[in-house]
Structure 1
Amino acid sequence: MTEKGVTAVEVVRSSVLCTWLAPLWHWLRERYEYSLLAKILRGIALGWRRAYHGSAVVGVLSREGVLTRAWPESVLCRVLTFLISIPTILLQKLYAVGQDVFEHSVFARIAFAVVEQTPLAVAWIMVLFLALPFERWNNAYSFAGFALCFVMAWFAGMRKPGFRLDLKFVGPWLVAFAGMTFAAWPLSAYPSLSFRFLLYYITCMLCVVILVSTVESREQLERLLCFTSLSLLIMSLYGIYQRIQGVEVNLSYVDVNVNGDMPGRVMGFFDNPNTFGEVLLLLIPVAVAYLLCTKSWLGRLLGLLSVGTGCMAMAMTYSRASWVGLALAAVVFVILWNSKLIPLGIVVALVGLALLPDTVFHRILTIFNTSDTSTSSRFPLYRAAAAFLQQRPVLGAGLGSDAVRQSISDLNLFHGKDHFVHCHNIYLQVWCETGLVGLISFVGGILWTAKQGAKAVFHKQCDLVVRMAVIGGVSALLGGLLCGMADYLWNYPRVMLIFWFVCALALAGIRLAGQESRAGEAEETAPAQQPEEYYSE
């Protein structure tokens, strides 16, 4: 070692870090190792692992249902896949006829380079859509953007023999829900009111099919996680900027008699603090997933900033349903990521509660306070929806909140102080719009996605980026389902699109995990290469 190197080592050894902090750290670690707290936490972790691995939940998750096994090879799946892939099939035939012309054309090569980056186009579209202020937003933007990406997806398979838009990994339940949304328009009590909502649902369907079909590598999936984190950072910073500038208390969002000390609630780029909270709930788990899977320092910095600012903005929304949903998302995330950390997570959560600002902690305590008008005002909505479902349980009112609102108004079922906008519950709203079959297929589709996601992340062949994308998407969806018990997440079509975008991320990860699993099994079962002498004999 050179003299310079020895000097550097000596400097480090004699530094404050080594002479004071390092011995203190070793002393604390030794005391903790044999402490009562460490024994209790290890006992809880061991008990949890034993209960978890031997539980009925794991048994249900590990079984393949009859419908799941039959779906990929079913006639319905094949017919629907063929129908939505007809343009791609025709383009493939055209390419086979004029392959030399296409390959020697500069314009064609540029076009192929563009359309084969469809997931990147979706990523940029989501950044632009999420960063647009509410007053500049138009739902036609999302429909036009994803219609363009869908056309790109058709052309992306032009020179890929056998490429088809994928419905196998979308799953039978979500395909059934898509079918019920199409049926709910002509069966609506007010078809003219339902039509524009059909366009919103079609936009979400396009988003799911595009991502599931065109994400073909871990790099593309990681890029989507990166752009989602960037979107979260932009909107969170704007929410924090709103708090710094000051937000006026809106009496329609805050009961000042119960929350007298609470400041104005930030809205970000959205028109409602609850809506902003729902968006943050859906995107924060995805950003955490990106933080844990990216290998670049710039990516880790982006992930850390987006998660940190996102949590700060979430607190400033004072959206209780979103807080509860994010708490469930965190629990699901830890279970799927590393269940051994659950005891530590409980301790961190308790410490975090103790460190919360007084206004946030007081807001949490009002969740079950029925004297809070924002809570009590929901009960007339629930009663009106229940009364309507008694009269039309199978078909519902038709697609969209407008049809439900008009039906309840015509039947004079709402008797609250304010006017009926929606059911303030995603399950009641979906039931009222698409009927009982629509509700069952929707809940079944999200739970099916969660089940397939859990199976994928526990497989030994699952890549880190794929695993974290699935974990982030699944935990966000389940958190959204819990939040949806007190809020209708799809009241704003932009939030509906974000919900299905997160679902598409999870499904795309599940598809890649399945491909990795089959490739690994093929390698394990492949016969060993025989020496040349064997063949010569």
Structure 2
Amino acid sequence: MFESSLFIRWLSKPVRYIIWLWKNSLAYRLICRLSAWFMNIWHHSRIISWFKKDGLLVRTWQHSAVLRFTDWLANLIPNFLGSIYARLERWFRNSFLYRLLDFASGHVSTLIALFVMASLVIPYSRWNNRYTTLAVLFFFGLFLIRTMGDRSVRFAVKAIDLFLFLFLLSIFLAQVFSTYPSLSLRFLAFYGTDFLMMLILISTIRTKKDLSTVLEIIMIGVALAGLYGLYQGIVGVPVNQAQVDVELNEGMPGRVESFFGNSNIFAQNIVLFAPFFAAIVLSAKGWQKKALFTVAALPSLVALLMTYSRSGYVGLAVAVLVFIFLVKRSLIPLFAVLGIAAMPFLPDTVLRRISTITNFNDSSISYRFDIFMTMWQVITDFWYTGIGLGSDAVKRVTENYEIFTKSVPLHAHNVYFQIWLEMGIMGLVAFIGWMVRTVKCSLRVIFSEEGDPYLKHVLRAGVSGLLGLLVIALVEYIWYYPRAMMLFWIFMGIVLSAIRLAAREPEEEQGNA
């Protein structure tokens, strides 16, 4: 009824006409030929061969004694509990409490998704970082209960890439050798709980249905946060002069922050998760679901404009460009033209905000460069070992250096500098290596001739959001708020789960043959 309505038929005519004009244009034919030439070069280049196979270090790691020992150690408790259950199975089955907990333990990934959704909509003033710790302990307990009765459920340690392992090792060493161990301990807890939640999520997402459920629940939270951000933009919020140069941005309204207490943090999470809206819409079979998630995405995108986050604008542009490239490269020029055509329809305040991106007279931009100058002095002295885990330890050491800002910076305003300051060169290389490996493994699935279309769409969205965020990370310390750090690790859990499911598909097909 909806698809055959007069309105839809009326609306589809100009859309079809525009598409016809584009496909019959000279520009489209040139782009198709250029794309074909590029893909021919791509498929016969050393770059594609690098994507198709793992390097020596990664292959060695996958068969190393260290990985086997880590797997044994991580699953020591689950295996022990499993042996106890095997001996007392009748007693456990007769226990109402165990049956209740066992039922809940079968839905751990869904419960994690519900917690993440809640974390997206709890106001900043009411959020407490202890919520994450308590939630992880609860999920860990349920996971252990699940491992008792189901021997196929264990920690997915093999999903830990070599570079992720090195990054975790860097975190631990940064705590052990911290200049101020007591100041670093709190941050070790943040990293530890976030990693454990990510590992539990990866270990409990065992089917595409599990992944779909988790993703859609989380995206409901993103939509609600976007809706509240849109509401803030409509009713208005006070101007925070600490975030805006009021002289260069005269007349600009207050920047919306939704439930996050910071406009840039809100913007970066929209950039990180918004591509999943497109993945769900492209994968949905019925028009109802496509329409629902299309509508759900709109408040977040409009709210992003109202954050007036310049790094968010750039990050979203990168995410959109990458997503279109991975879905259909020939549409990039069309979307570029549509983007330029839409510029005159943007609010004047947004256009003026965009125009100040390269204005070094803007106080917030010059302030960042002053921070970089301050922190670079510290990096040159601690480039090898790092100062110690956490921004508190970095701030304490930075006090002893020449400060180019009005006060000692709270952080480096750049996630790469911050990791370098805290964990030394090993931590920085490990983090970048982890990001590169994640993108590489995702692209390997995306460009494979076979494979599940849903997982490919999820990974297209994952790569797009991740690259958009990593661009933002050049001028923002994206983990300054522990809740934002937790959301990043959950995001990585979703991406790594999709990669893991894609890798298991060929194995299952061989097993069924």
Q: Quickly name the TM-score band, shorter chain normalised.
A: over 0.9
- Give secondary structure in 1 for the equivalent of 2:328: helix
Tell me which amino acid in the other structure corresponds to 2:121: A
Q: Could you tell me which residue of structure 2 aligns to residue 497 of structure 1?
A: 486
- Give secondary structure in 2 for the equivalent of 1:490: coil
Measure how far apart 1:220 and its partner are: 0.7
Q: Could you tell me which residue of structure 2 aligns to residue 221 of structure 1?
A: 211
Report if the CA contact (8 A) 1:170-1:212 is conserved.
no
Report if the CA contact (8 A) 1:174-1:442 is conserved.
yes
For 2:450 and 2:287, locate their aligned partners in 1 and report how far apart those are by CA, in whole Å: 26
Report if the CA contact (8 A) 1:470-1:507 is conserved.
no
For 1:185 and 1:100, locate their aligned partners in 2 and report how far apart those are by CA, in whole Å: 45
Choose from 374, 388, 407 the match for 1:384. 374
Name which of structure 1's ranges 71-80 and 426-435 shifts more when overlaid on structure 2: 71-80
For 1:166 and 1:262, locate their aligned partners in 2 and report how far apart those are by CA, in whole Å: 49
Measure how far apart 1:296 and its partner are: 4.7
Name which of structure 1's ranges 368-377 and 456-465 shifts more when overlaid on structure 2: 456-465
Tell me which amino acid in the other structure corresponds to 2:309: S
Report if the CA contact (8 A) 2:390-2:422 is conserved.
yes
Q: Could you tell me which residue of structure 2 aligns to residue 508 of structure 1?
A: 497
Report if the CA contact (8 A) 1:229-1:290 is conserved.
no
Are 1:157 and 2:163 counterparts?
Answer: no
Residues 95-494 of structure 1: pairs in structure 2 closer than 5 A: 95-409=85-399, 411-494=400-483
For 1:353 and 1:464, locate their aligned partners in 2 and report how far apart those are by CA, in whole Å: 33
Task: Give the unaligned 5+ runs of structure 1.
Answer: 1-7, 527-537
Structure-2 change in CA distance of 1:425 and 1:23 (3 Å): closer
Are 1:517 and 2:501 counterparts?
Answer: no
- Give secondary structure in 1 for the equivalent of 2:149: coil
- Give secondary structure in 1 for the equivalent of 2:159: coil
- Give secondary structure in 2 for the equivalent of 1:229: helix
For 1:165 and 1:286, locate their aligned partners in 2 and report how far apart those are by CA, in whole Å: 26
Structure-2 change in CA distance of 1:69 and 1:312 (3 Å): same
What does the per-residue CA deviation read over 1:324-377, in whole Å, with 9 as the maximum and x for residues that have no partner?
112222222223333343333333333333433222122122111100010001
Tell me which amino acid in the other structure corresponds to 1:435: G
Name which of structure 1's ranges 251-260 and 479-488 shifts more when overlaid on structure 2: 251-260
What does the per-residue CA deviation read over 1:163-187, in whole Å, with 9 as the maximum and x for residues that have no partner?
4201211211111111111111121
Residues 519-534 of structure 1: pairs in structure 2 closer than 5 A: 519-522=508-511, 526=513
Between Structure 1 and Structure 2, how many residues are aligned?
Answer: 511
For 1:451 and 1:73, locate their aligned partners in 2 and report how far apart those are by CA, in whole Å: 20
> What TM-score, normalized by structure 2, do the two folds share?
0.93
Structure-2 change in CA distance of 1:253 and 1:33 (3 Å): closer
Report if the CA contact (8 A) 1:233-1:305 is conserved.
no
What does the per-residue CA deviation read over 1:466-518, in whole Å, with 9 as the maximum and x for residues that have no partner?
22222222221221111100111001011111111111100011110010022
Measure how far apart 1:56 and its partner are: 4.3
Report if the CA contact (8 A) 1:221-1:466 is conserved.
no
Q: Could you tell me which residue of structure 2 aligns to residue 84 of structure 1?
A: 74
- Give secondary structure in 2 for the equivalent of 1:491: coil
- Give secondary structure in 2 for the equivalent of 1:168: helix
- Give secondary structure in 2 for the equivalent of 1:157: helix
Measure how far apart 1:280 and its partner are: 1.1
What does the per-residue CA deviation read over 1:141-182, in whole Å, with 9 as the maximum and x for residues that have no partner?
011112221222222222222542012112111111111111
Tell me which amino acid in the other structure corresponds to 1:88: P
Measure how far apart 1:47 and its partner are: 4.2
What does the per-residue CA deviation read over 1:389-408, in whole Å, with 9 as the maximum and x for residues that have no partner?
11111221111111101100
Structure-2 change in CA distance of 1:103 and 1:58 (3 Å): same
Report if the CA contact (8 A) 2:459-2:498 is conserved.
yes
Structure-2 change in CA distance of 1:65 and 1:97 (3 Å): same
> What TM-score, normalized by structure 1, do the two folds share?
0.89
Name which of structure 1's ranges 67-76 and 309-318 shifts more when overlaid on structure 2: 67-76
Name which of structure 1's ranges 60-69 and 318-327 shifts more when overlaid on structure 2: 60-69
For 1:23 and 1:197, locate their aligned partners in 2 and report how far apart those are by CA, in whole Å: 56
Task: Give the unaligned 5+ runs of structure 2.
Answer: none
What does the per-residue CA deviation read over 1:3-33, in whole Å, with 9 as the maximum and x for residues that have no partner?
xxxxx9xxx99x8998x88887777666555
- Give secondary structure in 1 for the equivalent of 2:157: coil
What does the per-residue CA deviation read over 1:286-335, in whole Å, with 9 as the maximum and x for residues that have no partner?
22222222335553344212321111011110111122112222222223
Name which of structure 1's ranges 25-34 and 493-502 shifts more when overlaid on structure 2: 25-34
Structure-2 change in CA distance of 1:102 and 1:304 (3 Å): same
Tell me which amino acid in the other structure corresponds to 2:84: L
Tell me which amino acid in the other structure corresponds to 2:314: V
Structure with bigger gyration radius = 1
Measure how far apart 1:114 and its partner are: 0.9
Tell me which amino acid in the other structure corresponds to 2:471: L
Report if the CA contact (8 A) 1:398-1:432 is conserved.
yes
What does the per-residue CA deviation read over 1:437-460, in whole Å, with 9 as the maximum and x for residues that have no partner?
011111111111111111122334
Tell me which amino acid in the other structure corresponds to 2:437: W
Report if the CA contact (8 A) 1:461-1:513 is conserved.
no
TM superposition outliers: structure 1 runs of 4+ over 4 Å? 15-18, 20-33
For 2:499 and 2:18, locate their aligned partners in 1 and report how far apart those are by CA, in whole Å: 42
Structure-2 change in CA distance of 1:455 and 1:337 (3 Å): same
For 1:34 and 1:460, locate their aligned partners in 2 and report how far apart those are by CA, in whole Å: 28
Tell me which amino acid in the other structure corresponds to 1:392: F
Structure-2 change in CA distance of 1:314 and 1:30 (3 Å): closer
Structure-2 change in CA distance of 1:383 and 1:92 (3 Å): same
For 1:396 and 1:354, locate their aligned partners in 2 and report how far apart those are by CA, in whole Å: 47
What does the per-residue CA deviation read over 1:208-236, in whole Å, with 9 as the maximum and x for residues that have no partner?
21111110011110011101210111111
Tell me which amino acid in the other structure corresponds to 2:461: G
Structure-2 change in CA distance of 1:17 and 1:152 (3 Å): closer
Name which of structure 1's ranges 284-293 and 272-281 shifts more when overlaid on structure 2: 284-293
Measure how far apart 1:68 and its partner are: 2.1
For 2:130 and 2:14, locate their aligned partners in 1 and report how far apart those are by CA, in whole Å: 61
Q: Could you tell me which residue of structure 2 aligns to residue 68 of structure 1?
A: 58
For 1:318 and 1:308, locate their aligned partners in 2 and report how far apart those are by CA, in whole Å: 16
For 2:303 and 2:252, locate their aligned partners in 1 and report how far apart those are by CA, in whole Å: 15
Report if the CA contact (8 A) 1:222-1:465 is conserved.
no
